[in-house]
Structure 1
Amino acid sequence: MNATQRRRHAAMLQATGYEDGPALTVQSTDGEIPQGRELSFSWLSGTVLTGLTSVLLMGAALYVSFQGQDTFSTAYAALNLAVPRVEQPLATDLTSKTSRLRPVAATRSDREIIEAATRQIVDGREIIRNQPFVRINATLATTATSLSADVPAYDPVAILNKTQPLTSAALDIATDVYGTDVDGEVVVNHSAMPDDFVPTRTISDQGAADFVRAMVGGPFTIDGGGPALAYAALAPTLRDLAASQADAVAGVAENVTVVPKTTLASSETLGRTERFLTVREIGPLSDTLVRNGFTPAQVGMIERTLANLMPAAGLPAGIRLRILYGPHSSGAASLVPYRMSIYRPEGAPGERHIATVALSDNGQYVVGLQPDWVDFPAEDVEQINVGNLPSIYRSIWETGRKHDLSDATIERIIAMFAYDIDMTKRIAAGDTIEILETGDTGEGAAEELLYVGLTLSGTTRQLYRFTTDDGAVDFYDPNGETGKRFLNRRPLEGGGTLRSRFGYRIHPIFKTRRLHTGVDLAARTGTPIYASGDGVISYYKWQSGYGNKVEIQHVNGYETAYGHMSRFADGLSVGSRVRQGQVVGYVGSTGQSTGPHLHFEIKINGNLVDPLSVKLPKDNVLAAQYRDEFDQTIAQINDLMARDPAPVSVAQSN
């Protein structure tokens, strides 16, 4: 462009309003027009922050929408201001391909009082009297609430102290008076019969001979068949042979693990679950709420909120409660009640819905509107969020406290099964527990545990209380074996976290497929490691790959090994005798390890086995001399578990 063209171009720009000016500057005093050309950093920062805030708010809104539930404003979802009165079936179709549907399981929570005549020896006298018993038949809790928020951390070694035999006197249940009502107490005195006593003859020898002759010579029929002699033994029919063959036992399976069908969690975090239950006895509403996860403070708020909404005549028997649980705002593992609705029983006069309370943002329970209507099932049920299922350990605590069991009794129950069951596993929907205890006789005696039956994934384990002649009280399965095992499967404080199972795997360091000869239980460095059972240390030094390693020789060809320890326990060496539960070292990451954990192995006659599934011998077996008496005890307890509950009078409370 030449000079003439440049001048023409500049003239055209000036004609349209453009002019030459100084460049933009951050100094407000520069330029011919002050305050008109400077850059404002505060304005620029405000613009950027406004944009970021808008993005965050939009992202949060999209997150809430896609999640299908909110964790920011509990009150709106809990109050449920829009109440469409539509019929919604409660049953869930599990065949549909969607993650929003949740399984529904029937729940059972029966705590009943039964009575039976018992025989006890007091000061050398045999006393027969009616004894109350407490029978619990319940579904294991599928949600962890505030009831079990303060339970002690699971420690598989601490249970050793809980499985020791008791020394208290056992209750003697009298089988000879079963089914007989006793008014008050019956005292039985035994005295020796005089040597010169001769009972009066009632039947003559001739009369007895005539009776036997008539029975032998007389025909009779069996199952509608032909006549047969009294002493003749009939041969089995084809029908009898077929039945016997069908019922024959072909063999006994050993070292078989029953694995339930895997149910994948619908969410990695805790979700919402809803419980429908019936209050079958008239009593304080607060007792029911506490047993279902409400804290005393929450119960107090609910009572104040509902003070003017309760019927003047009080709540009738058979009211239905509908409780919605959700995750705690603090991120705790326990669920909190978001909403609770009270309904009259079907057919009762008055409006079916009595009142609803809901948790607000500030942690208060306020009056809410009735939630969407659903048809109440005949039995108590609970919508299960698979991600909420607690561990077996936590579930037993939750269920025990719900049924007013003492903490010592709950710990005893856990200890009795901890050797057979991995308490850190989650329960399955429908798992149950049965408990039998002695009841309150008014004499201040503590309730004694008599029987526990635990059903997990369809497998039932039963333990019965029995007292030997030396006064030791312990619990045995129907085969006469205690729950205490010869070896502990998770021998470190807290049990550790299972990171790798026994079997072939890709080695985390060498990236090749190799046999993993034990199980890896992750824990913090320095966590105490215990001897799995009584034995003698056979190896106590560094070994390539294992790092610091200890091997213990047990009886009957059993060996255990402990690897990757940070250090050994003081005062031990090869040849040292250790007892079950004694510290032998501490968790570390020595040798070929990617993090602190215990590598635990079990060998039987030199062969490596899976520590978590191998069948281990029981530590104590009932002596053969007690077998008949123990079978009688089993029959007594089974009879009590099958009895009808005693009628209970319950005082009415508003």
Structure 2
Amino acid sequence: MKLKDGVLNAAQRKRHTAQLRSSGYEDGPALTVQSTDGDIPHGRELSFAWLAGTVMTGLTSVLLMGAALYIAFEGRDTFSTPYRALHIETPREAATPTDISSKTFRAKPVTQTRSELETIEAGIREMVDGRAMIRNQPFVRLRATLATAATSLSDDVPAYDPVAILNATQPIEAADAASEANTDIYGADVEGEVAVRLAAMPASFAPAAAINDRLAAEFVRLTLESAYSDIDAPMLAYAAAGPSLRELGAAPGGNVVAGVAENVTVMPKTTRADEAGLGRTERILTVKERSPLTDVLRRNGFTDTMIQAINGTLKNVFPSIELPPGARLRILFGPSVNTDSLVPYRMSIYLHEDRTNTDRHAVTVALTDKGQYVLGLAPPEIEFPEEDTEEVSVANLPSVYRSIWETGRKHDLADDTIRRIIGMFAYDVDMTKRIAAGDSIEILKTAPDAEGKQDLLYVGLTLGNTTRQLYRFVTPDGVADFYDPNGETGKRFLTRRPLEGGGTLRSRFGYRIHPIFKTRKLHTGVDLAARTGTPIYASGDGVVQLVGWQSGYGNKIEIQHVNGYETAYGHMSRFADGIKPGTRVRQGQVIGYVGSTGYSTGPHLHFEILINGNLVDPLSVKLPRENTLAEQYRGQFGQVIAQINDLMKKEPAPVSVAANTAAPTAATTN
């Protein structure tokens, strides 16, 4: 039995072995972990290093994929409302404001914005029936930063045209100046009217000094420049000599006079704004006075259509039509599809609680891809700054021209007033240049009369480190004009960009590689690109000396002005009718049209200015004023300056203009 069992067991084992072999199993040595280090394991060898590497690779892949998905969905685990699917949050929403001087690729710099619209009162002296009377007179004062982003407020502004500026800056004639505002400040605020009896000044009275430190420093600077200049030419009465005169005087020809670069600011290198599209930016503002929500939104770039849609969305969750003092708004702007302006993508309202000194989120509306405003969840929390702020995007910075329009309309300035302000500075300032964050404007006006009319009394414009001030003054003949502290008007005797729209600066004055001959040559003027046929104007009053073809200039015109000044205009497509040698032209008169004749690579105006036969830089050379205040009026004008300066420093009255017009006194300008 045992043998039989043994035989059966052996047979059974044989059968089992055959079955295993038929399934692919074969005899082999036992598994071993003695795999050679660094080699791929073979046969029955195992490698714990390879096994661990495989497991770690798998785990790492899972983690990386999970992180990528988490970032792609911005940490969201649900899209419960339309707002959550808009993808309109900015990368800076959870960050606190940073210094504008910082440079980073991820966070946009933030600048503080200022917007103070105030009423001030002063005791004014007037002559009534031969008696000097004192009464209180209100004035309106605006101090604001220039807008760093253009919105729908300035969508319909007229195109920049230097000639239109001439009409906007004409002196105000006697008929219009008859009701000229009195700024003869008597002293502190007074109640009612007071009669004043004038008496002769005592002989011991010592008048104030006629020159201040600034004028003395300017006199010393000009004296030193004249003493150390090695070029003795009459033109130095008009064109200040710079430190590069020796170098340029030694250049071929030896008769090149360089202009002085004014208002130059060193800035860090950034991406060219004209090469990048508009970007998103967030504005944070605080409402200082109880104000209708509609007015606040309109002053911050919301159109009437947008406001109507937002009111319809808010009526069930935020029925209040007014914002209380201390309320904060966060407005996210982004590029518009149809215009070159920014449109509001999202608007959030926060109500301030004095008891806890906190800001509670009240409501948020956001723009969908269908152009509708819907309710949304609150954006990520931030710590609100004490002052109003706005992100600064290089691509969003508007030109000086449009920024003044945007700022003026934001503060309800009349369009005619904005045009005059632009015209007063257009001779000194390149209005097509982009502003810088922190540029600002100050304005003083009379309070509105019964018809709502206001007179402009003073404008101060700060661009970079340079502040330009113009004061209104009425001469005895009843003509009012604006003069700088030296008694000169803002109008220049020559315009620097004499073509419609001002053109686009393509090449500056100075040595360069010639675009056609590929050699280093002096570029004797500036190239202002514009479409073929764009009107070209006479830069100033003068007599035409040359009309015709001249070598590389193509069709060229030369005009002789007074005091040794000449201007030249090259590459014209054609000349205006009636323009010939001997013709007397006035500033702003059309003399020809942009073309590409002569040595030219495209349609543009080549514009030159010569002083006593010497070439100068048209964009930076100091040009004489068109008009100066007569010497006999300088004493009265000095009093006007002092009085207006006092008004600009005076504390505001308890009731502000913003409260009267239901507009926030410190709503951001940008």
By how many angstroms is 1:85 displaced?
14
Q: What does residue 504 of structure 1 align with?
A: 511
* Residue type of the alignment partner of 1:417: F
Q: What does residue 260 of structure 1 align with?
A: 265
Structure 1, unpaired ranges of 5+: 1-63, 66-73, 194-242
By how many angstroms is 1:180 displaced?
3.6
Matches within 5 A, 1:228-377: 250-252=220-222, 254=240, 255-263=260-268, 264-265=270-271, 268-310=276-318, 315-330=323-338, 332-345=339-352, 347=354, 352-377=360-385
* Residue type of the alignment partner of 2:532: T
Q: What does residue 237 of structure 2 align with?
A: none
**2:131–2:196 Cα contact (<8 Å) kept:** yes
Q: What does residue 162 of structure 1 align with?
A: 168
**1:391–1:423 Cα contact (<8 Å) kept:** yes
Q: Distance in 2 between matches of 1:81 and 1:159?
A: 41
Change (3 A) 1:652 1:328: closer
- Which deviations, in whole Å up to 9, do the C-alpha atoms of 1:121-141 show, x marking residues without a partner? 568775532211110000000
SS of alignment partner, residue 182 of structure 2: coil
Q: What does residue 64 of structure 2 align with?
A: none
SS of alignment partner, residue 545 of structure 1: helix
By how many angstroms is 1:89 displaced?
2.4
By how many angstroms is 1:572 displaced?
2.1
Q: What does residue 604 of structure 2 align with?
A: 597
Change (3 A) 1:579 1:88: closer
Change (3 A) 1:123 1:307: farther
Match of 1:137 among 114, 118, 143: 143
* Residue type of the alignment partner of 1:368: G
Change (3 A) 1:165 1:375: same
**2:121–2:189 Cα contact (<8 Å) kept:** no
Q: Distance in 2 between matches of 1:380 and 1:188?
A: 45
**1:78–1:359 Cα contact (<8 Å) kept:** no
Match of 2:565 among 554, 558, 566: 558
Q: Distance in 2 between matches of 1:497 and 1:180?
A: 51
| TM-score (ref. length: structure 1) | 0.76
Match of 2:188 among 179, 185, 189: 179
| TM-score (ref. length: structure 2) | 0.74
**2:100–2:111 Cα contact (<8 Å) kept:** no
By how many angstroms is 1:256 displaced?
3.9
By how many angstroms is 1:120 displaced?
4.1
Change (3 A) 1:651 1:139: closer
Q: Distance in 2 between matches of 1:577 and 1:299?
A: 54
Change (3 A) 1:502 1:81: closer
Change (3 A) 1:86 1:587: closer
Cα RMSD after superposing both structures:
3.3
Q: Distance in 2 between matches of 1:449 and 1:487?
A: 25
Q: What does residue 432 of structure 2 align with?
A: 424
Q: Distance in 2 between matches of 1:289 and 1:248?
A: 46
- Which deviations, in whole Å up to 9, do the C-alpha atoms of 1:532-574 show, x marking residues without a partner? 0011111111101011100000111100000111111111211
- Which deviations, in whole Å up to 9, do the C-alpha atoms of 1:180-239 show, x marking residues without a partner? 4132x557799x99xxxxxxxxxxxxxxxxxxxxxxxxxxxxxxxxxxxxxxxxxxxxxx
By how many angstroms is 1:395 displaced?
0.1
**2:292–2:321 Cα contact (<8 Å) kept:** no
**Alignment pair present for 1:545 and 2:552:** yes
Q: Distance in 1 between matches of 2:107 and 2:364?
A: 25
Of 250-259 and 136-145, deviating more is: 250-259
Q: Distance in 2 between matches of 1:582 and 1:450?
A: 30
By how many angstroms is 1:501 displaced?
0.8
Q: Distance in 2 between matches of 1:335 and 1:462?
A: 31
SS of alignment partner, residue 567 of structure 1: strand
Q: Distance in 1 between matches of 2:523 and 2:662?
A: 62
**2:99–2:111 Cα contact (<8 Å) kept:** no
Q: Distance in 1 between matches of 2:636 and 2:582?
A: 42
**1:117–1:173 Cα contact (<8 Å) kept:** no
Change (3 A) 1:570 1:93: closer
Q: What does residue 396 of structure 1 align with?
A: 404
Change (3 A) 1:76 1:303: closer
Q: Distance in 2 between matches of 1:132 and 1:582?
A: 42
Q: What does residue 626 of structure 1 align with?
A: 633
Change (3 A) 1:84 1:118: closer
Q: What does residue 524 of structure 1 align with?
A: 531
Q: What does residue 146 of structure 1 align with?
A: 152
SS of alignment partner, residue 352 of structure 2: coil
By how many angstroms is 1:476 displaced?
0.4
Q: What does residue 583 of structure 1 align with?
A: 590
SS of alignment partner, residue 515 of structure 1: strand
Q: What does residue 457 of structure 1 align with?
A: 464
Structure 2, unpaired ranges of 5+: 1-70, 73-80, 201-212, 226-239, 241-259, 664-670
Q: Report how many aligned residue pairs link the two structures.
A: 530
**1:455–1:461 Cα contact (<8 Å) kept:** yes
By how many angstroms is 1:90 displaced?
2.6
- Which deviations, in whole Å up to 9, do the C-alpha atoms of 1:36-62 show, x marking residues without a partner? xxxxxxxxxxxxxxxxxxxxxxxxxxx
Q: Distance in 2 between matches of 1:389 and 1:475?
A: 29
**1:90–1:374 Cα contact (<8 Å) kept:** no
* Residue type of the alignment partner of 1:173: T
SS of alignment partner, residue 162 of structure 2: coil
**Identity score, percent:** 64
Of 306-315 and 419-428, deviating more is: 306-315
Structure possessing the higher relative contact order (Cα contacts under 8 Å, 6 or more residues apart)? 2
* Residue type of the alignment partner of 1:262: M
Q: Distance in 1 between matches of 2:464 and 2:596?
A: 36
SS of alignment partner, residue 540 of structure 1: strand
Q: What does residue 112 of structure 1 align with?
A: 118
**1:282–1:652 Cα contact (<8 Å) kept:** no
Of 247-256 and 111-120, deviating more is: 247-256
**2:148–2:397 Cα contact (<8 Å) kept:** yes
Change (3 A) 1:573 1:85: closer
**1:132–1:440 Cα contact (<8 Å) kept:** no
SS of alignment partner, residue 352 of structure 1: strand
Change (3 A) 1:313 1:95: closer
- Which deviations, in whole Å up to 9, do the C-alpha atoms of 1:82-129 show, x marking residues without a partner? 999996323258545x42221111100111111112234568775532
**2:293–2:321 Cα contact (<8 Å) kept:** no
SS of alignment partner, residue 301 of structure 1: helix
Q: What does residue 379 of structure 1 align with?
A: 387
SS of alignment partner, residue 298 of structure 2: helix
Q: Distance in 2 between matches of 1:603 and 1:247?
A: 29
Change (3 A) 1:128 1:78: farther
* Residue type of the alignment partner of 2:412: D
Q: Distance in 1 between matches of 2:567 and 2:501?
A: 19
* Residue type of the alignment partner of 1:501: R
Q: What does residue 488 of structure 1 align with?
A: 495
* Residue type of the alignment partner of 1:174: D
